Amino acid sequence: MAPKFYQDEDGWRHPISQRPVSPKELIKLILRPADGLNLAFANPSELHHQLCQTARLSPNEATTFTVRVDPSKNLAVLNCRDKPTAEKIGSISSISTNSATGRVSIYISAAHDTCKGVVHNIQPGTDLDYLLKHLSAPGYTITSARMMGKTGTAIITFMGTYIPRDVIYAGGEYRCRPHRPRAQFCRKCLAIGHRADVCTKTSEALCPKCGKGGQEEDHQDCLTQCINCGGNHSADDKTCEKRQAADSAVRYQAYDKRIIRRRNLNTEQNSQQSKQEAQQRGRSHTRFAEHETHNGIRSRSKRSSRQRSSSRPGAPSRSQDLIKQQSPENAGQPQVSQSLLKSTHIRTAKQANKSYRDAVRTQTHARREQMLPRLQTLAQQSSLPPNHSPPVTVTTPDIQSDMDTESNVAINRSTPGPKRSRTDDEGTLMVEECHRRLTAALTSRYTLKGSKK
């Protein structure tokens, strides 16, 4: 089966990932190594054991978190179910793995039901406390905010799966846009997928032009060639095909997570709402059951009987449900809704239209019966073949006027002019022949199909 696609206002279109999302109760920790510590070949079980020993966790606390290694980014992801255990793990500053010891940085990742937005034109180097103090978004909750490096762009984390259109910073309104992350780029080995602080491939930075190591003086006139795609540009050029493809993949992944979070959040909200409704229904039934038990009555409740009666074939019609009751002072006088009035008007108009059609049909039939003797007389007077049967019904009551008009026109056309010399007998015969043909034509034209015997 083809994958399902989603379309958002961002304009991205891609298949939804089948990877399950971590539960909302889990606390997600990111372990990022430093000092060249390589986690690409680390065993998750051994890393879990080292973390338990370093944080001095009890056997019960050790079962509350798991470790997953991401070799492409050289980091580890920890999913913890206990907040005190997560705080103990977050205090770790160094670990030993694969006969190597190095510093690590452990921090809590964004929550399950959060999203990120970016705001531009902020003063570069703004203090974090000042930024959080003067940031606000009516109707939204800001959980964290920070500046992106030395740029004038601030990245803000909001509670929920949607970002506001505008945010207020120091009295000014700024447009907030969705955060579209880029692929990480290493400034040391010039590779795509990780940062320089976790790089383990080389100890010295490579030349971005030729991709070779050495002193900076040796690369003044080196040949420019990207080591990622082989193009005629430097490796740190943002127009590189490999970097653009990696950026698109990272953005699709971020969008995928946002869609899944929205879907799961809506599912959770719907389930909570259904549970609340079920609890309310349960309380109402419980109160009624207590009332029945107290009074010794075993009859069904009005609400349950109404629900059962609506599902039976003999349930009240929809028009009865549309009738609404007025205020208490006008009790006893039902108020008809607009939808009921509209349906009544439509039904009345249909009945009137049907009556009108029946009256027109009856009147037309009567006129046909009145014209039948006249047509039979005209057919007998004309010299028609003996086997020709006269018509039974006609379609219009104005046949005679049409016949008289067309007869006069034919007589005028057949009257001999001054240049033609005909006798009176020839002219009379011609007029009679024209009249006979005209009568036959009109009679056959106004005869209904299937009326001949």
Hey, what domains does the chain have and what are their CATH numbers?
22-109 (3.30.70), 371-445 (no CATH)
Mean pLDDT in runs of 10 for the chain (453 residues)?
A: 42 47 72 80 88 90 90 86 89 78 82 85 90 91 88 90 90 91 86 80 78 73 84 86 87 80 74 74 56 48 46 46 44 51 72 81 82 75 52 48 52 48 59 71 56 44
- As given in the structure block, the two tokens for residue 44 are 């998750």
Residue-by-residue DSSP string for 113-158: TEEEEEE-SPPTT--HHHHHHSEE-TT--EEEEEE-TTSS-EEEEE
Contact 65, 85 (CB under 8 A): yes
**Tell me, what's the pLDDT at 310?**
45
Q: What is the CA radius of gyration of the chain?
A: 46
| Contact in structure between 245 and 238 (CB atoms under 8 Å) | no
The tokens describing 186, both together, are 């290493």
Residue among 251, 263, 270, 271 nearest 113 (CA): 263
- Classify 436 as helix, strand or coil: helix
> Beta strands 65-70 and 13-15: pairing type?
unpaired
Taking alpha carbons only, the member of 76, 173, 105 closest to residue 134 is 173
Query: What span, in angstroms and rounded, lies between the C-alpha atoms of 198 and 36?
Result: 6
pLDDT at res. 277: 74
Q: How far apart are the first and last CA of the chain?
A: 67
Contact 85, 51 (CB under 8 A): no
Determine the length of the chain: 453
DSSP string of 296-351?
T--PPPHHHHHHHHHHSTTPPPHHHHH-B---GGGTT--B--HHHHHHHHHHHHHH
Closest-CA residue to 6 (of 256, 333, 339): 256
Written as one string, the DSSP assignment of 255-309 is HHHHHHHHHHHHHHHHHHHHHHHHHHHHHHHHHHHHHHHHHT--PPPHHHHHHHH
Contact partners, residue 4, CB within 8 Å, separation at least 6: 15, 16
Rounded distance, CA 402 to CA 326, Å? Answer: 64
**CA separation for the pair 433, 445 (Å, rounded):** 18
d(CA 230, CA 224): 9
- Looking at residue 360, its pLDDT comes to 82
Q: Is 297 left (phi over 0), alpha (psi -120 to 50) or beta?
A: beta
Q: How much is the pLDDT for 217? A: 67
Q: If you search the block for the tokens 């005028």, which residue do you land on?
A: 412
For the stretch 270-292, what's the b/e string if a residue is b when 16 or more beta carbons lie within 10 angstroms of its beta carbon? eeeeeeeeeeeeeeeeeebeeee
177-178 vs 172-175, strand pairing mode: unpaired
> Could you give the CA distance from residue 115 to residue 261 in angstroms, rounded to a whole number?
9
What does the alpha-carbon distance between residue 375 and residue 439 come to, in Å, rounded to a whole number?
Answer: 10
* pLDDT confidence of residue 175: 94
- As beta bridge partners, residue 135 has 169
Task: Dihedral sign for Cα 315, 319, 322, 324, please.
Answer: negative
Residue 68: closest CA among 107, 29, 106: 29
Q: Which residue has the tokens 């000092």?
A: 35
Question: How far is the CA of 108 from the CAs of 21, 42, 105, 144, 364, in angstroms?
Answer: 17, 21, 10, 12, 89
Dist CA 122 CA 126 (whole Å):
8
CA dihedral 374, 377, 383, 386 (to 10 degrees): 110
